Structures are given as C-alpha cells and as structure tokens.
Structure 1
Amino acid sequence: MASLARARRRRTPDLEEGESYYVSMTDMMVGVIFIFIIMLSYFALQYRQSTKALTQARHPETAALLQTATALTPHEATVEVDDKARVLCVPEDLIGGTGSDRRCFSYAPPAKTAATTVAADDAQRMLMGFLDADLRDAGAPLAGDTSGGALSFSADALFERGTANLSAGGRKIAGEVAASLARRLPCLAYGGASSTACPEGEARLALVNVLSQTNLDAFTAEGQQAAALALARSAAFHQALTGAQPVLAALRNGPPDQAASQPLLRVASVGQSQEGASRLGEGQTVSIQFQMAR
C-alpha cells in the first residue's frame, strides 16, 4: 500500500505538467487564430476599397495604373495626337529611349454612352423616390409600385362614374401631383425656370406621358366608347395638372429652339381588347409614365 501511494505521488507532478502544457498550447493557438483573423480582415478591407475605387472610377484602366504608378514625375514634351485615328505619339527619349524617334500608342474614346445610361437610370430612380415620398406624405392614393417609372391611380378615385369629369377628390389629387411634378421636373427638362439647385450634367427626361388604360371589347359600341373615354380621361387629367401648375405646360424635352423639341407632358391611351370586358369606364387606370432620354 505504501509503495502504491508513493507511485501516485510521483505521477501527480507529471499530470500537472501535462495540463500546463495543454493550456499553453491552447493559448498559443487562440493567439494565432486571432492574428490570422486580423490579417484576413485587413486584406478584405483593402480588397473592397480597391475594388470600389476601380469600379466607380470614370476610367477604370487609368485608376488601376495609378495604383501601381507611385513615382510619377512631370516632363515637358511635345505630344502629337490624331483624334480621328485615336493615336498619341511622344518622343522616345521621354520614356527612357536613346533615339530621336517617336513612340506611338493607340487609345480608346471615353465610354460616354454607358456613363449616360447609368446617369439616366440613377436620375429616374431618384425622381421616382422623391415623387413617391411627396405623394404618400400628401395622402394621394397611389396604386402599385412606383419603382417601375410610373405613378398610377385608379380612375374611380379621380373621375365621376362613367365620365371624364374629375370629382372633387380627383381635383385634389391632381393638385397634389402637379405640385410635386412642378418641384421635381424642371431640373430634368428644358423650358422651365432655371434653378441654381439643379446639378450640372443632370440627365434629362424624354417624355412624361399621362396614360389611361382600359380593357374593352373592340367590336362593340360600348367597347369603342370605353376607348374614347380613356383618351378623354387622359386629356382631362393632363389639363388638370397643367392648370394647377402652368410651369408643367412650359416644359419641353429639348431646347425650345430645336425643331424636334416637343412638350414634355403629353397624353396617350391604351385599350386592350378582351372578351367579357368590364362595363364602360370600369377598371380603368390613369398613370403618369416617366421616360429618360438615352
């Protein structure tokens, strides 16, 4: 028994030493993992910042080269450029050569079309966001989502039943819509009062269409009356908008002195032939559609 007790006492320091070694290894591994996480986070942040800088740059190739060119120095030289052929020539000695010849490089024109498209999409998205906020704050009964580029209303909320006469509620809605349009459209059109708040180079609208839509039976007299009513309602809503805010009637989609310039706010109607179409004037919608110039 005494020898067994002595053996147990001898193993106790060994066990304590093993546990201490295990704890030290665990601490070291936690430290290594922590350092690895910090390094990974740093490189991920750097990668995200570099990617953002390159993708949002006006000229991504130039932005990429400038990230690697850290010792640019100015030089005075005569540069020859052929704008039509897109060729640029510099003296050879300017770029480390020893001769008197020229070194020529081709270059691509700026991608203006892509930049314009992006600007137009962004401008339309911002416009619809502002209009949606204006009208919802005013309590206007918008129907559907405005992100598709249109403000839609049920014709029943605007007009007296079966007619193109605006109801009292319809006139109120038209006034609220006109006030919002008068605030938002002049910067995106021509012919309105210039504003110092309008950003330079802003995209422009090509068309703001007051559109009435209806289902109809095109082969019946009632269906043809529904088509005529839809057009009359578009015209009536257009007149209500321009009557409430005359500036809307002055806006155009191009400089007024250009022959192709047209009024920005125009009228249209769409009648979809359908069997068993609803009765005259029922289920019609009136929308204001916004189309950006490309």
Structure 2
Amino acid sequence: MGRKRGRTVDVEEGESYYVSMTDMMVGVIFIFIIMLSYFAFEFRSTTAKLTAAKHPETAALLQTAANLQPKTADIEIDYKAQVVCLPETALSETGAGAAGERRCFGFSPPKAGAPTASVADAQKLLMQSLDADLRDMKVALASDPSGGSLAFRADQLFSPGTADLSADGRRIAGDVAQVLMKRLPCLGYGVAPGAGCEDEGPKLSVVNVVAQTNLDAFSAEGQQAASLALRRAAAFHQALTTAQPALGVLRNAPPAQPGSQPLLRVASVGQSQEGASKVGDDQTVSIQFQMGS
C-alpha cells in the first residue's frame, strides 16, 4: 500500500497591526521634543514680559496674565484719589455689560524722581554691554572691563615709539567709536538718545581716554615717555571723535547748565620708578567710565 506524502503549505503572514518598539520610542521622543520646544518658547515669552515690567505689582500680574490683548477704551482718572475707571464693556471679551457702567480700580503712581537703577548697577550694566558689543566685533581688550575701563595695549594701536595709529589701530578706534555711540547718548546730554533709553537714572560724569605708562621722571627717556603717553591719548580721542563726530558733542550736563563739560575727555597717568623701560614700552590706552548720581 503506497504512502501519500503530505505537502507543506507555506502561509504568508499578513501585515502586523502592532507597532514595533522602535517606532513607538521614536514617536514618544518626537512628542517630547515638541513639548520641550513649546515650553521653551513660553518660558522666553514670560521672561521677556517680566523683565519689561518696572514695578513689582505689574510683574506679579503678568505671571497670571498669559493672553493680554490690546484694546482701545476711554478711561477716567482721578490723580488725587489715585482711582482709574474703565467702561464695563471694555472688560468683556464680547463687549457685554451695561452701557454707561464703569469699573473703578485704585493705583499707585510711580514716585517722581526715583532712579530706576543704582549707580553701581548702571555702571555694571554699561560695562557688560560694552564688553559684549566689542566681543561681537572681535576687538580684544587688555584687561577685564568689570573694573570700569576698556583697556588696549599701545602696541595694539600705534606704530612703535610714535603717536601715529596703525592700520589695525584705526580699525579698532572705528569699532570702539561705533560701540560708544550706541551706548553713551543714553547716559549723557547734547545728543538725542535712541530708542530703549531710560528717562531717569544715573548719568556719566566723565569718560576719560587715559594713557598709562611707567617712566623714570628724572631721565630724558622718562620725560619723553610721559609726553608720548599724552600724545597717544589725544590721538586716540581724536580718532574716536573723527569716526563718530557726535561723541565730541556729548556733555556731562545740559549744555546751557553752568559747569557743563564735554563727556569724552583726555588724561595721562605716569608712575615714576627706577629702571623704567624704554620710551613707549608697556604703555596702555584705556577708556575709563565714571558714573555720576
């Protein structure tokens, strides 16, 4: 009796309806990235609002006001009683509310003459801003600007032994003048400041272009070094005001006020010591900022 051989039937598997672990993880990571981006955007937006608020009460309200919308409305203010009244219809998104009805709120006006920042804070902010601007322009400084000055090596600016600016020195002077013109009008008088300046706050009393040198005051070379330092300070000052003429117009007080002086001035400092280096060696030229009240 013969045996029948059975045939093996190949069954083709259909498409699986289950998601692989890899696909699932990719999906979860993608959703996480979207959520992270959203929260980062919201954080930046909220931080910008709170930074722009000048009063603690405003900052506290902005923490809960996430969807402020501009709206035009007629308001009434009693400055003596410190009360402001708004139409009730302006407080409804749909304009609902009885016509002619008002809602009134108490407020505290800003104190007249109160500075927005202390002298130390204003000085620190100025130096941080100048440092950041010069870094962006690839201008190297010889020392930390947190001390209140922008310092440059003399050999970085001038031809050896002279008060003549080198090509690199002229470029640096132009870049520095551009940065100063961006910041100083807000802190001086005589030139209309740009947008973003505080109406009140500390002002600069003087911005000195200072050349510093070591010298032997009793030698001919030492006296030449002192003279060279002063001429270098004057040359750098002239280069700044040539690149940005408005820097020469800035004053430390309103022009009509008695005692008003140019904001940007020149000084020279020399320390006598034995065995000082040769004429022009190890000199620095710095711009020193002194904030007034």
Identify the TM-score tier after normalising by the shorter chain.
Answer: 0.5 to 0.7
Alignment of 1:246-257 (within 5 A): 246-257=245-256
Q: Which amino acid aligns with 2:146?
A: S
In the TM superposition, 1:140-155 aligns within 5 A as: 140-155=139-154
Note the 1:100-111 alignment, pairs <5 A: none
Alpha-carbon distance, 1:116 to partner: 5.5
Partner of 1:127: 126
- Local SS of the residue matching 2:133: helix
Report the Cα distance in structure 1 between the residues aligned to 2:238 and 2:201, rounded to whole angstroms.
28
RMSD between aligned alpha carbons?
A: 2.2
Give SS of 2:253's match.
Answer: coil
Aligned-pair distance for 1:123? 1.1
Q: Is 1:261 the equivalent of 2:256?
A: no
CA contact (8 A) 1:159 1:165 kept: yes
Amino acid in the other structure paired with 1:237: F
Q: How far did 1:199 drift?
A: 1.3
Alignment of 1:167 with 2:166, yes or no, is: yes
Q: Which residue of 2 aligns with 1:274?
A: 273
- The whole-number CA distance in structure 1 between the counterparts of 2:207 and 2:186 is 14
Provide, for residues 80-106 of structure 1, a one-character-per-residue CA deviation record: whole Å limited to 9, x for no partner.
Answer: xxxxxxxxxxxxxxxxxxxxxxxxxxx
Counterpart code for 1:157: Q
Aligned match of 1:193: 192
Once the 2 structures are TM-superposed, how far is the Cα of residue 118 of structure 1 from its aligned partner? 5.5
Q: 1: CA distance between counterparts of 2:177 and 2:193?
A: 18
Amino acid paired to 1:208: V
| Contact 2:174 2:240 survives alignment (8 Å) | yes
Amino acid at match of 1:256: P
Report the counterpart of residue 177 of structure 1 in structure 2: 176
SS of the residue 1:139 aligns to: coil
Letter in 2 for 1:142: L
How many Å apart are 1:267 and its aligned residue? 0.1
Q: Distance in 2 between matches of 1:259 and 1:124?
A: 25
Q: Counting helix residues as a fraction of each chain, which structure ranks higher?
A: 1
Contact 1:190 1:253 (8 Å CA) reproduced: yes
**Which residue does 1:232 correspond to in 2?**
231
* Structure 2: stretches of 5+ with no match in the other structure: 1-54, 57-79, 82-110
* Structure 1 position 197, deviation (Å): 2.2
- 8 Å Cα contact 2:252-2:261 kept in structure 1: yes
In 2, distance between residues paired with 1:233 and 1:291? 21
Q: Which of 1 and 2 has greater Rg?
A: 1
The one-letter amino acid paired with 1:257 is A
Tell me, yes or no, if the aligned pair for 1:209 and 1:266 is still in contact at 8 Å: yes
Residues 214-267 of structure 1: per-residue CA shift (max 9 Å, x gap): 000000111000000000000000000000001100100000001200000000
Give the Å deviation of 1:195: 3.0
Q: How far is 1:194 from its partner?
A: 3.4
Matches within 5 A, 1:34-183: 119-183=118-182
Q: TM-score, normalised by structure 2?
A: 0.61
How much identity, in percent, do the aligned residues show? 63
Q: How far off its partner does 1:117 sit?
A: 10
Structure 1 runs (4+) deviating above 2 angstroms are: 115-118, 194-197
Mapped to 2, the partners of 1:195 and 1:143 lie a distance apart of 30
TM-score of the pair, normalised by structure 1: 0.60
Q: Which residue of 1 aligns with 2:213?
A: 214
C-alpha deviation, 1:193, in angstroms = 1.6
Q: How many residues align?
A: 187
Change (3 A) 1:143 1:215: same
The yes-or-no answer on 1:291 pairing with 2:285 is no
The alignment partner of 1:185 has SS state of helix
